[in-house]
Amino acid sequence: MNYDVVVAGAGPAGISCAVALVRRDPSLRHRILVLDRAAFPREKPCGGGLTGHAEEAMTALGLELTVPSVPSPRAEVRFWDWRREVTLGRPVRIIRRGDFDASLVAQARDLGIEVRERAALQDFRVEGDGVDIGVGEGGTERIRARVLVGADGVGSRVRKHLNGESDGTPIRLFRLELPAKGAWRSDAMLYDFSPMTDGLRGYLWVFPVADDWINVGLMHDPGAPLSGGDLEALLRRHLDRLGITLPRAARGWPAFGYHPSAPIGGPHLVTVGDAAGIDALTGEGIAVGMEQAIVAADAILRAFDQNDFAFRGYARAVRQATVGRELALDRWLARLLYRGGWKRWLSLVLLDERMLELYAARVSGTLVLADHKRELVWALLRHLGSPGRTARLTRASASAS
């Protein structure tokens, strides 16, 4: 069987890539195949926050939010007794990934795109003018494509092929959904940095979800080694502090942060979504995957136009796009906050009004933070000139913990 494009993975990134291709060139509709090893709806551990430019990306793709969602109009940032609440320029919508991803698959099918479930990309070989792809158990079914899109998530085979297995240590994310039962009733998204005092290099979240449930979890940067058991204990202890009891053990999942110079494309191959890397500061990747997918679709169409499938310019195109500029900036901020003097940088977010406003606008997708780099740098410099702020934060954690 021959296709122009095979997309491995029918998560938000893979579906967005297929949809973007068909929107731009409807004649591709019957020449694209999307494969997924799972059957939808499938489980996907996720906070479910459609943050950043998700709404814009979905509008650009002509995709609709057809599943229940909870609009969260506010974000609260905490560090022990410090609390800062900020109104989001537009509410972040919290969805359940099982439903959401299945709804995207359905919309792609409505456009005439073939999505095959329970069909895993087993192996592939770049040869001649395309890719020879093995599908299913043992790779017995062989398919040929001019382009293989790796949208196969964090364990991506395409990513491993391009990276030569040099993935490094992943970000870790833990997550559990539970009934609110009065323990926590708020329509705000909570980002709690208190566990940083105990060694976490990330944050704990509590997000509202439909039917009066909450979605709790934490993300941890790999700069500081903490075991899965340590992270689970941190999550449990700090949720207790917020009056939330974990009903069962929480599990952790890995994710790789985006690196601007990572090889995300190669001859006849491109990667999108988690396969290409997520936001290293927040651990978010839904909007990121969709935005990368749009850039990838443009690169694929250019490859067909020019009959040049080397994808030499793809990594640069992602770097120069809004999504790449935001990811690079967040990577830099993550290094400051999680690998530098964290109290200094956290006190900047908590105590500098403008900084929090800017980041809230970034989370709700009402601005492109990378367009405000100069303002950010000024805020950093201003902050370095006020060491008293960091001391206030140190006192806050000492008295509360």
Interface positions with ligand FAD (CB under 6 A): 8-14, 35-38, 42, 44-49, 51, 120-121, 151-153, 157, 173, 175, 217, 253, 255, 273-274, 278, 283-287, 289
Which of 80/254 has CB closer to ligand FAD?
A: 254
Burial of 367 (0-12, 13-18, 19+ CB in 10 A): middle
Q: How does DSSP assign 249-279, residue by residue? A: --EEEEEPBP-TTS--EETTEEE-GGGT-B-
Helices (H), 141-253: 157-163, 228-241
List the structure tokens of 145.
Answer: 């494509």
Helix (H, G, I), strand (E, B) or coil at 77: strand
Which of 152/326 has CB closer to ligand FAD?
A: 152
Which of 125/354 has CB closer to ligand FAD?
A: 125
CB-based contacts of 59: which residues, under 8 Å, 6+ apart? none
Task: Note whether 20 and 107 are within 8 A (CB).
Answer: no
Task: Note whether 73 and 186 are within 8 A (CB).
Answer: no
Give the side-chain half-sphere CA count within 13 A for 101: 24
Least gap, CB of 227 to ligand FAD (angstroms): 17
Least gap, CB of 115 to ligand FAD (angstroms): 11
Which of 174/344 has CB closer to ligand FAD?
A: 174
Least gap, CB of 399 to ligand FAD (angstroms): 31
Least gap, CB of 387 to ligand FAD (angstroms): 34
Least gap, CB of 34 to ligand FAD (angstroms): 9
Ramachandran bin of 253, using left for φ above 0, alpha for ψ from -120 to 50, beta for the remaining angles: beta
Least gap, CB of 147 to ligand FAD (angstroms): 16
Which of 213/253 has CB closer to ligand FAD?
A: 253
CB-based contacts of 372: which residues, under 8 Å, 6+ apart? 358
Which of 266/277 has CB closer to ligand FAD?
A: 277
